[in-house]
Structure 1
Amino acid sequence: MGNTSSCCACTSCCCQDCFGKRHRSGIYEPLLQANEREAIAELLRFLENRSRTNFFRGEPLQALTTLAYSDNVDLQRSAALAFAEITEKDVSQVGKETLNPILFLLQSHDVEVQRPASAALANLAVNTENKLLIVKLGGLEQLIRQMASPNVEVQCNAVGCITNLATHDDNKARIAKSDALRLLVDLARSKDQRVQRNATGALLNMTHTQDNRQQLVNAGAIPVLISLLSSQDADVQYYCTTALSNIAADGMNRKKLAQTDSRLVQYLIALMETKSLKVQCQAALALRNLASDEKYQLEIVRCKGLAPLLRLLKSSFLPLILSSVACIRNISIHPANESPIIEEGFVNPLIELLSYDDNEEIQCHAISTLRNLAASSERNRKTSVEAGAVERIRTLIHRVPASVQTEMTAAIAVLALSDELKPQLLSMSILQVLVPLTASTKMEVQRNSAAAIGNLSSKVKDYSPFVDVWTSPADGLRHFLIRFLDVNQSVALQHIGVWTIEQFLEGNDPELVSRIASTSEIVDSVTRIAKSPDLLRQAPPEDPADDLDGDIVGLSKRVASALHDFPKQ
């Protein structure tokens, strides 16, 4: 949240006509004290040289303080205007000597004092240290009273100051537990656009922690924020869309959003077509968070949200690309959405994003989406391969970050489940890529690469591609099996190693099985595992290898027996 909307037009303060002046009520103000006359003269002199004067200390501050604490309302107005004008041009860290007079002016019953005083406080609240000191000195309570003022200008400045204060984490809890939230929600409905803009900005600043989001929801913010998505003001749209996006990060809140307005998804889809790029971006991110739930994954597709998401994904603006690809990743989780996404034309743009070197997160979302699209349909897997996904992965995989490698190897493992595609994948020299990655320093990359090799080895007619990589690259398939079966490896990796050998044995390729059976390190390791029932107890409760066939000891006994019997065949 950036600068707040300013509601106080400050003019040069004028102090000359304060001597016994009749007030609007018809009552004469008291004559000025000697120190007040002196303060007026000093202030006028300092204002004439304002470019060289520091008003936050010494004689200039003392002159302002004298006027601020005066019983003469005109002098208070002059002090408040001077503070507002000075802080408009000079915002720096100040002490309580500066803030206390301004906070005192806020207590005035005169609107012409309240308005510039609240503007001055809002200006000073841009500084990080000032934010904390203002709240420490009781400024929050003063501002809450100002927010309830019938005067729109005073409301606007007070809310603007709250907005700035709410950017500091230490202040957010104080604000959340005060009456400020209820007033902010009420003022977000204001007919004055400046008040509305500042109020929604303050509400946004209160959505960055789960506790504060809950306080906001309890204060009734959700229906107000949704109603303001149709605002004609781009800033209000942005603040409300972003606030709703943050609120949607919590599962319980997503249920409340669904109960509040059934048209929320339609509103957000429409905002992806607005002129404001930042609103488009936040609308896609809001949909992304909503799409953490199955209900919204289906609803976004049903409400025709794919076309605008594809347009954003094809843009040249990084934030739009990131928000849209993150959204489509979540939508693609639902099996029923796989075909609609493919038919909308996402596959080729997603493949192009794999080469988006400027942003690792975009690459991760793109490849994860492609993996999701191939999860449950043979036809969809074939579409991805024919579109060039595997060639692009093979080209990029050794020069992308480990997080992207993790997603890429997982995608290959999914594609390798297709019996129809296995020969094609093997003909693309995919093993030359996967075998070295089994030695990755990242455990997930090791596992995914090994799983892909295991999937490729199951039920293929030609095992020559596996024989070709027996000793190279990177010491080949042989060393991969030896390494995974090592006693120092995790039970999960040992399990994957034994399971992969079983796939090779079931393939019954004489050349490959002979090489495995004649490698003593492999045979000895499998035999050791078969004789180690304690490995069953060592397996973690959520062992990724649990999906493999049988427990590791039983599997190893079958494999060891087959390897020992092989020379006799």
Structure 2
Amino acid sequence: MGGIISCCGTADKEYQPLLADQERQAVAALVKLFETDTRISFYDGPALQALTVLAHSDVHHLQLSAATAFSEISEYDVRAVDREALEPIVYLLQAAHADVQQAAAAALGNLAGDTANRRLVVELGAVQHLVRQMLAPGADSQINAVGCITNLAGDDENKLRIARSGALPPLVRLARSRDLRVQRNAAGALLNMTHRAEVRRLLVDAGAVAALAELVQARDDDTLYYAATALSNIAVDAEGRNAMCALHMLVPQLLSALQTRHPRVQAQVALTLRNMASDTHFQLHIVEEGALDTLLPLLHSPHMPLAVSAAACLRNLSIHAANEAPIVVAGLVPELLDLAVDAANPDMQCHAIAAVRNLAANSGDKQALLDAGLLDRLGAALNTKCSQARAELAAAFSVFALNDQLWRPVVERGLCGPLARLLRCGHADAELSACLALGALAGRRSEAVEELLRLWPRGLRDGLAQQLTESASDAARSAALWLIAALLAGRPGQARRVLTADAALLAAVEACAATREPSKPWALLPAIFTGHGTEPADDDSTTVASTHEAQRVQSLARQILDQIRDSS
């Protein structure tokens, strides 16, 4: 606190004749407080009253004393404060002198480290003054103003207010500053702004994507990390990915960073590529630029977040059918299968399983997958205790069941039994996917149906009954009924005898048939997982889909009952 005593002391000696009585009293009060009480609070009481007087002074040194005091105090004493404590600091942002503005911005930035203060600072109108400070020529002014904006943007409501205040163009401009400190702070502020969808769209319009892409080449790892994370968030939206498509050097620059930077930065760069690879253009472009050879060694990184991020990136790259051959040639299939059966890291395991599932979902020869031990290794993994891995494995087998090369080996290797056991594993997604896989196999109407009817008393029946009577999901009931219908279609006589002898299961089917009006024939069969991600539906389409699923339940149940009666 030496700065304020010196300033106040100087003001008291040299400028005392020019000071108003109130100002002289404020200086004297502060000096006395320093001399008598080292534990005073500057956010309330006499100290705040005195600082408020100095903040509103027309004398530069007094304003600077107040701003310096608030800045220094807030470095070690950050807490929730009230409007009375913040108002003089916000007022100091409007001072005529840059050094006063800088100190005030630093103080507000420090206090914005407490979440309770952030919204109040914005409500007091601080942002418009910080924007003006960002436009000032001095690097120190820019650093403090941007740092304050960064902390204020930690509040979700503030993000939109800041974006609409005119702050985005200055932030984008400062991201291109030659001063590395300004660059870093601007990248951090832009990153905080990307956590809200509406703001991401405004950032794209403000040209932030190009500015952040330039920072991918920054020498400073923190700056690169902030820029890559911001780009990763922007890539969540199709609009953001479209803006990135015009930046032809972005992917090569990211791949360069993926090889040469600190593992923490590499991990984030891999996640950025993963999000960009939600788009078919980038799925191809990233592979064409040599990403597979770069990602392969990263799967074995001792820095686990990097290894997981590399696996997540491969998961999205595997979606595009044209990437299947390069992935096979690069030797990634055995690597992915090793990870798919390794329960040491569930996140990496799930990404690897999903990548293999995506490869199986693509058209083309699957012999390379079979030769690598696809079904034997994933079949053994079906006994995993990890719920999320079970769900991913079941989803993979629902894809294998649809493939002309893979479905028969699934049956021949006795994998219908483990899939049937998943119907009662306690994980809704795994149960649904397993039911869909078995239904797809039953649709083959050959030895698959015989195998499933053999498993009927060995767990399949009880699993289906649970889906019909205990599941809260119409999709699960629909899948169970679809499987029963497929069994009836494949072996009508044998399946009908099994069903008619089971009064409890028939009662469950009858209960499903009585729930809703039947749907049109084209909406009867449940969707099968294709292995590829889809955009989430909005509220209206989700409601429509739920209605159709409920109608499918009733229609399938009525079809089953009609078929049983017609055969009687």
Q: Aligned to 2:135, which of 145, 148, 171?
A: 148
Partner amino acid, structure 2, of 1:215? L
Kept in 2: contact 1:437–1:449 (CA 8 A): yes
Taking structure 1 as reference, are residues 540 and 84 closer, same or farther at Cα in structure 2, changes over 3 Å only? farther
Q: 1 CA distance for matches of 2:93 and 2:266?
A: 39
Match of 2:538 in 1: none
Taking structure 1 as reference, are residues 337 and 36 closer, same or farther at Cα in structure 2, changes over 3 Å only? same
In structure 1, the residue corresponding to 2:18 is in which secondary structure?
A: coil
Q: 2 CA distance for matches of 1:463 and 1:97?
A: 76
Deviation at 1:295, TM superposition (A): 1.1
TM-score, normalised relative to structure 1: 0.82
Deviation at 1:212, TM superposition (A): 0.5
In structure 2, the residue corresponding to 1:538 is in which secondary structure?
A: coil
Match of 2:399 in 1: 414
1:241 pairs with 2:221: no
Partner amino acid, structure 1, of 2:417? Q
Kept in 2: contact 1:351–1:389 (CA 8 A): no
Kept in 2: contact 1:87–1:123 (CA 8 A): yes
Match of 1:438 in 2: 423
Q: 2 CA distance for matches of 1:484 and 1:33?
A: 82
Structure 1, unpaired ranges of 5+: 1-8, 22-27, 506-512, 565-569
Deviation at 1:390, TM superposition (A): 3.7
Q: Aligned to 1:187, which of 152, 162, 174?
A: 174
1:408-459 Cα shifts (integer Å, max 9, x gaps): 1222233345566556544543232122223455565444324433555637
Q: How does 1:115-126 map to 2 (within 5 A)?
A: 115-126=102-113
Q: Aligned to 1:18, which of 1, 11, 22?
A: 11
Match of 1:217 in 2: 204
Q: 1 CA distance for matches of 2:136 and 2:16?
A: 25
Match of 2:98 in 1: 111
Whichever structure has more helix as a proportion of its residues is: 2
Q: 2 CA distance for matches of 1:80 and 1:178?
A: 24
Q: Aligned to 1:281, which of 263, 267, 289?
A: 267
Match of 1:177 in 2: 164
Match of 1:334 in 2: 320
Match of 2:500 in 1: 520
Q: How does 1:469-488 map to 2 (within 5 A)?
A: 469-472=455-458, 474=459, 476=460
Deviation at 1:183, TM superposition (A): 1.2
Kept in 2: contact 1:13–1:82 (CA 8 A): no
Deviation at 1:90, TM superposition (A): 1.0
Q: Mean alpha-carbon deviation: is it higher for 405-414 or for 450-459?
A: 450-459
Taking structure 1 as reference, are residues 503 and 334 closer, same or farther at Cα in structure 2, changes over 3 Å only? farther
Q: Share of identical aligned residues, percent?
A: 38
Q: 2 CA distance for matches of 1:490 and 1:11?
A: 73
Taking structure 1 as reference, are residues 142 and 518 closer, same or farther at Cα in structure 2, changes over 3 Å only? closer
1:344 pairs with 2:330: yes
CA RMSD of aligned residues (A): 3.9
Q: 2 CA distance for matches of 1:201 and 1:466?
A: 57
Q: Mean alpha-carbon deviation: is it higher for 442-451 or for 72-81?
A: 442-451
Kept in 1: contact 2:353–2:392 (CA 8 A): yes
Q: 2 CA distance for matches of 1:120 and 1:462?
A: 71
Deviation at 1:126, TM superposition (A): 1.0
Taking structure 1 as reference, are residues 562 and 351 closer, same or farther at Cα in structure 2, changes over 3 Å only? farther
Taking structure 1 as reference, are residues 348 and 66 closer, same or farther at Cα in structure 2, changes over 3 Å only? same
In structure 1, the residue corresponding to 2:259 is in which secondary structure?
A: coil
1:168-206 Cα shifts (integer Å, max 9, x gaps): 012111111111111111111211111111111111111
Match of 1:404 in 2: 389
TM-score, normalised relative to structure 2: 0.82
Q: 2 CA distance for matches of 1:546 and 1:125?
A: 49
In structure 1, the residue corresponding to 2:145 is in which secondary structure?
A: helix
Deviation at 1:86, TM superposition (A): 1.0
1:329-364 Cα shifts (integer Å, max 9, x gaps): 111111111122233233333334335657654433
Deviation at 1:211, TM superposition (A): 0.9
Match of 1:230 in 2: 217
Partner amino acid, structure 1, of 2:118? K
Match of 1:83 in 2: 70
Match of 1:567 in 2: none
Taking structure 1 as reference, are residues 425 and 194 closer, same or farther at Cα in structure 2, changes over 3 Å only? same
1:147-167 Cα shifts (integer Å, max 9, x gaps): 122222111111111111111
Deviation at 1:17, TM superposition (A): 2.1
Deviation at 1:33, TM superposition (A): 3.7
Deviation at 1:482, TM superposition (A): 7.3
Aligned length: 534
Match of 2:281 in 1: 295
Q: 2 CA distance for matches of 1:50 and 1:380?
A: 79
In structure 1, the residue corresponding to 2:457 is in which secondary structure?
A: coil
Kept in 2: contact 1:484–1:494 (CA 8 A): no
Partner amino acid, structure 1, of 2:259? E
Kept in 2: contact 1:281–1:320 (CA 8 A): yes
In structure 1, the residue corresponding to 2:261 is in which secondary structure?
A: coil
Taking structure 1 as reference, are residues 17 and 540 closer, same or farther at Cα in structure 2, changes over 3 Å only? farther
Match of 1:315 in 2: 301
Q: 1 CA distance for matches of 2:274 and 2:135?
A: 37
Match of 2:252 in 1: 266
